[in-house]
A and B are shown apart, each in its own frame.
Chain A
Amino acid sequence: GAVVSQHPSRVICKSGTSVKIECRSLDFQATTMFWYRQFPKKSLMLMATSNEGSKATYEQGVEKDKFLINHASLTLSTLTVTSAHPEDSSFYICSARWSQRESGEEQYFGPGTRLTVT
């Protein structure tokens, strides 16, 4: 159990266009999902926390109007990178917290989306 999928796995887009990334928990309900950004050989940088049915909580320095997050259901959260620029090129990873588990703390990560903006 605890599988998280992410789509697409890779995307190349032109500068100025928008890209939507989907994150799904396949076999459990996730009231909370997280969006991270990871640069090559670097750690995970939390961008925002997405709660089902409410507005996302963005970390300091992350533009909420540029990185739109929607968590419409207990199994789906989306991240839309609007008006993408080359500096937005990165590896975006989502994770979901399985709130029904006894521990309820660990996060299950999706396989990530490699975004390249040309």
Chain B
Amino acid sequence: GQQVMQIPQYQHVQEGEDFTTYCNSSTTLSNIQWYKQRPGGHPVFLIQLVKSGEVKKQKRLTFQFGEAKKNSSLHITATQTTDVGTYFCAGRATNDYKLSFGAGTTVTVRA
């Protein structure tokens, strides 16, 4: 079945630095979504990418969908303490109804 792999599993970042988390699918995706889960909280939808090569920005967050629609990345610039949490990518394969979630990247920030 479809597998979504996400790296790194943990990201410890100095406040103010940039980092990127990567998501790779074993199959071509119809779309990819990103969610953020704060410690003790539930996943919150961030964004959805649909088109090949699509790039979307949300303030300091930049999301990219690969040309082959099998990979995606989330880049955060000037990390802040509010960025702490686990970021999940979730992909829906073509001809599938469900999302497959990656393992998540748990981000901690040192001031």
Instruction: Answer yes or no: B79 CB below 8 A from chain A CBs.
Output: no
Instruction: Provide the residues of chain A in CB contact with B7, threshold 8 Å.
Output: none
Contact status B42-A93, CB under 8 Å: yes
Contacts of A112 in B (CB 8 A): 42
- Across-interface contacts of A107 in B (CB, < 8 A): 33, 45, 99
User: For window 58-111 of chain B, which residues contact chain A by CB distance below 8 Å?
Assistant: 88, 92, 97-104, 106
Q: Which residues of chain A are within 8 angstroms of B99 by Cβ–Cβ distance?
A: 34, 46, 107
Chain B: interface residue total (CB-CB under 8 A)? 21
B35-56 to A contact mask, C-beta < 8 Å, 1/0: 1000001111100101000000
Size of the A side of the interface (Cβ < 8 Å), in residues, is: 19
- In the complex, B14 has a CB within 8 A of chain A: no
CB distance from A47 to the nearest CB of B (A): 11
Kindly report which residue of chain A lies nearest to residue B6, judged by CB atoms. Answer: A43
Assess the B98–A49 pair: CB atoms within 8 A.
yes
Count chain B CB atoms within 10 A of each CB in A44, A103, A110 and give the residue with the most.
A44
B42 touches A105 (CB 8 A): no
B43's partner among A41, A42, A44 (CB-CB below 8 A) is A44
Residues of A within 8 Å of B97, CB to CB, are: 32, 49
Residues of B within 8 A of A49 (CB): 97-98
Chain B residues with CB under 8 A of A32 = 97
B40 to chain A, nearest CB (A): 9
Contact B103 A43 (CB under 8 A): yes
Can you identify 5 A-B contacts, CB atoms within 8 angstroms?
A34-B98, A43-B88, A43-B104, A106-B45, A107-B33
